[in-house]
Structure 1
Amino acid sequence: MNKLSKNYLMTGGYQLLNILIMLIITPYLTRTLGSQSLGIDAYVLSIVQICQIMGSLGSTVYANREIAYVRTDKNRLTCVFWELFILRILLGSIVTVFYLVIAFHSAYKAVFLIQLITLLSYYLDVSWLYIGTEDVAPLTLCSAVVRLCTTPLIFLFVKTPAHLNLYVAIYAMTLALICGILLFGARKRVGRLPFGQLNLGRHLKPVIALFLPQAASSLYVMFDKTMLGLLASDFSRVSIYEKPELIVKAPTVLAMALTTVTMPRIAFCHARGRKEDIRDLVRSSLELVFLLFIPISAGVAIVAPIFIPAYLGPAYMDSVRVVWILAPIILAIAMTNVSGSQFLTGCNETGYLSLSYLVSAVFNIVGNFFLIPHLDEIGASFTTLGAEWLVVLIQFSAMYRILGRIGIRQIACKKLIAGAVMSAVILPLPKLLGSTLPVMLLQIAAGAVVYFIALVIMKDSGLYHRLNMLRNREG
């Protein structure tokens, strides 16, 4: 197994663990903390995440790329690491002042102050060093062990809505512990601080160039919760939107895992002018994205009427409509992980990234401003759906312009047909057999089988390629 495949499996395994933890704790939290407290938490966390993007000026993605460029030169690696680490701390310190001003003027000051630990952990995070050097094993193992150790604390100590602050503290300390361990491990990967060689200023222009797409991205991904908290009828609507949104977006962490290990490889190829290798990497990523996320997008929408009330509780019945609206963004996010996070970022095409995210952010903010006061979470859902596919349209147009034809119709056509056949087979099952959890499980199993058989019958090249890869590994 090559290093890229190994890193993808490890990163994907960790992301699956995160999904599993979320699936376990979410129904417990919706029944103990309730929608009002969870809405407050989602509102505050959205502000924390916006401050994190503003404070880092997009330097996390930039750092991944720059470390990938110099990973084979220990001296240059050391210099770049310390320059970026110090720059992140300086920028983060400025935004932290503004965050504290917001915290002390908020009705939820205690939650804001506890989440300050989360914000500082973001600024001190050095996961980009591990990702850029394609050494993700320590990163994934450390994060997995810490999360497995801290998650039981939620069940032990969080019992009522009054325990919101305790829940937030457990979340914040988990991130802080992971951050501390990774910082300690970074000492073995880089040399001592080279004071005389540091040049922080050389990073400012490219960091600011990446800041625009990162800031815009944060606005259209996170600002929906902030605007719901400010404009909706009450804070429970934030949770009614946020929890199903998390469920819908959970499968996309698999695409993010693919980005984590593929973007540094694309950056490496770009630095050496290997355009054909980049095209092959993009095609391979798109094959996997369509193979996995077309059936997942359809399946999530189909099982929502049974899954959501059983999983989140009867107080979240309105969330079913949110899932129906948001399900197509699963495929959209996976596609933009290839076009934006992998290709445009790895090839330093930040102008197109900026354009896609800025246009979508404006669309999102304007749409939310007009729709949320009248439709609450439904308005936010429609706006998010439009914004995500607008990003796809802009980024794929840019990718075609740079790389030329990729053959996306050839890649996607048979998978779309198989997804439609799968949906037609499993959609009527609840009406025929009843809306129960066993029927939902039957829908999932039958859907997977029908989708696979349809692809085999149509002789889909992407499926056969991956089956051959598995046979070769076994052989």
Structure 2
Amino acid sequence: MKEKKISYNIIYSVLMQTASVIAPLIISPYIARVLSAELIGNYSYTLANSSYFVLIECLGLSLYGTIKIAMIRDDKRELSKFFWEIFWLKFILMIICSGAYMIWISTYEAGTLKNLYYAMLLNVISGGVDVSWFLNGIEEFKVNAIRTILVRLINIIMILALIKSEKDLVLYAIIMQLSTLIGYVVVYPAVLKRIQWIKFSELNLKRHLKPSMVYFVPGLINTIFASTDKTILGAVGKNAYEIGVYEQANKICQLSMSMLNAVSNAILPRVAYLYSNSDNRKTKDFLMVSISGAALIAFPMTFGVSAIANDFVPAFFGRGYDKSAELLKILCLNVLFVVLSNFIAQQCLIARAKQKEYNIAISTSAILNVALNLILVRNMKSVGVALASVIASLAILLMVANYSKDLINLKEIVNISWRYFVASVVMYISIFKINLHDHWMTIIGQVIVGIIIYFVVLIILKDTTIRKVLKQGEKK
């Protein structure tokens, strides 16, 4: 594959991530004001519960399909056969899971929740018809990028035009899930022109069930982290408001992490290449620079989000979300823990095909997360769920660091991070009390002053990471 092709793919990936970040930034403040925290909690609760059915129907087939497609993409006959086998397998699983889902929601009494669950059937169907894994496998990122941007744009327009009051909650759910479904369907022409039709009688669907299970574990764990906190909070805590304020705080943290995680995904192929060529010195240098770069941004982002939380939440979401600020101060630690664990895991474990160790780490953390949720949610509600999430994220970081100690040990991580920690603490203390008597003016002032102080402290501490990151980038 040509280097130019890789560069274009990275650009398209960044465009997709940017669209995915900007859309919520536009929609969230509007929806927070039109719908109450309780209604957003109901939406998040039903979406989380429908995600379990999506997980079962997908069965790790998307990631498995992407990897296998990449291996056989030069053989059109084999490529086509494989595509139709995965497509029909996912479609059959979707029909089964949709039926099971409908039977499950039939037990609910008529009301808003039941109507929301009916709307979430679109989410279950979307998982079964998604063929973006094929385009990823043949590295056709342009199609996915254009699709993502257009769908996000249409989604924003429809929500701003049609969602006007709390009575539109179900319509909001339909728009959100239908836009995802349409986004998957519109790429079918681009997929079908690259393959040929294979008769169903010539296909062997069962041969993919066992190998795809290897990729089911990460999907299972991701669903647990993304959904079980809200499921437990709703089932045990029985408080839609608590789910709503938690969802809003968690959303901000997810947006903060997304761009850094996108960078980690983009540099993974280069790390894997260096490992495959046994270039230990370059691998170590690249690893240290990339993790330093992640820490350089993750530390101030974590402390910065905590510092501006009290002004950001009312400015961004409006009234009724005061508790989200309290939760944001806890959940912002996930920005640091998740970003660092992703960088270390991808470059030290996944790039070296140590999927087993990675699965053990995330599985242990997921079990810990569920257990802590069950223990803390009754008395502490959303605060307990937030604490459980942070502790579980820290557990992943410690475990992947331990599994990676042959490449980077804890002492090296501390040596990389201590300057950023000190600079971030000084920044936090300096900006926390800034008050310009207007939420947005205060936030802008805190951000500007915070950036200046952070980098001044790093200069005083003689940090060299910025220079190394720039130098590393010039070599690429």
Give the whole-Å Cα distance in 2 for the aligned partners of 1:462 and 1:82.
48
Give the whole-Å Cα distance in 2 for the aligned partners of 1:396 and 1:210.
22
1:315 matched to 2:317: no
Q: Which amino acid aligns with 1:374?
A: N
Q: 1:447 Cα shift?
A: 1.7
Unaligned runs of 5+ residues in structure 2 are: none
String of CA shifts for 1:13-33, please: whole Å, max 9, x gaps. Answer: 332332222122212212212
Q: 1:351 Cα shift?
A: 2.1
Percent identity at matched positions?
Answer: 25
Residue number in structure 2 paired with 1:193: 198
What are the equivalent positions in structure 2 for 1:32-431 lying under 5 Å apart? 32-71=34-73, 74=76, 76-107=78-109, 108-193=113-198, 198-263=203-268, 274=278, 276=280, 282-283=287-288, 285-340=290-345, 344-401=349-406, 403=407, 407-430=412-435
Cα pair distance change 1:62/1:337, threshold 3 Å: farther
Give the whole-Å Cα distance in 1 for the aligned partners of 2:178 and 2:377.
33
String of CA shifts for 1:339-389, please: whole Å, max 9, x gaps. Answer: 445654454433223322221222122211121111111111111111111
Q: Secondary structure at the match of 1:429?
A: coil
The 8 Å contact of residues 220 and 360 in structure 1, kept in 2 or not, is answered as no
Q: 1:52 Cα shift?
A: 1.5
Q: Which amino acid aligns with 2:214?
A: A
The 8 Å contact of residues 233 and 385 in structure 2, kept in 1 or not, is answered as yes
Q: 1:397 Cα shift?
A: 1.9
Provide the aligned C-alpha RMSD in A: 2.9
Q: 1:303 Cα shift?
A: 0.2
The 8 Å contact of residues 8 and 258 in structure 1, kept in 2 or not, is answered as no
Give the whole-Å Cα distance in 2 for the aligned partners of 1:165 and 1:320.
27
Q: 1:109 Cα shift?
A: 2.3
Q: 1:63 Cα shift?
A: 2.9
Cα pair distance change 1:468/1:283, threshold 3 Å: closer
Give the whole-Å Cα distance in 2 for the aligned partners of 1:275 and 1:83.
38
String of CA shifts for 1:275-320, please: whole Å, max 9, x gaps. Answer: 7476666545423322222211111111001111222122111111
1:436 matched to 2:439: yes
Give the whole-Å Cα distance in 1 for the aligned partners of 2:290 and 2:214.
26
The 8 Å contact of residues 259 and 341 in structure 1, kept in 2 or not, is answered as yes
Residue number in structure 2 paired with 1:450: 453
Give the whole-Å Cα distance in 2 for the aligned partners of 1:83 and 1:279.
41
Q: 1:236 Cα shift?
A: 1.4
Q: Secondary structure at the match of 2:187?
A: helix
Bigger shift: residues 290-299 or 239-248: 290-299
Q: Secondary structure at the match of 2:320?
A: helix
The 8 Å contact of residues 331 and 386 in structure 2, kept in 1 or not, is answered as yes
Count the aligned residue pairs. 469
Residue number in structure 2 paired with 1:11: 13
Q: 1:75 Cα shift?
A: 5.0
String of CA shifts for 1:409-467, please: whole Å, max 9, x gaps. Answer: 4443433333233223322323xx55632121111122223333444454544311343
Give the whole-Å Cα distance in 2 for the aligned partners of 1:102 and 1:282.
47
Q: Secondary structure at the match of 1:314?
A: coil
String of CA shifts for 1:255-290, please: whole Å, max 9, x gaps. Answer: 3323544445666777x5657476666545423322
Give the whole-Å Cα distance in 2 for the aligned partners of 1:284 and 1:63.
32
String of CA shifts for 1:64-89, please: whole Å, max 9, x gaps. Answer: 33334445555554444333333322
Q: Secondary structure at the match of 1:159?
A: coil
The 8 Å contact of residues 252 and 330 in structure 1, kept in 2 or not, is answered as yes
Question: TM-score normalised to the size of structure 1?
Answer: 0.88
Cα pair distance change 1:274/1:6, threshold 3 Å: farther
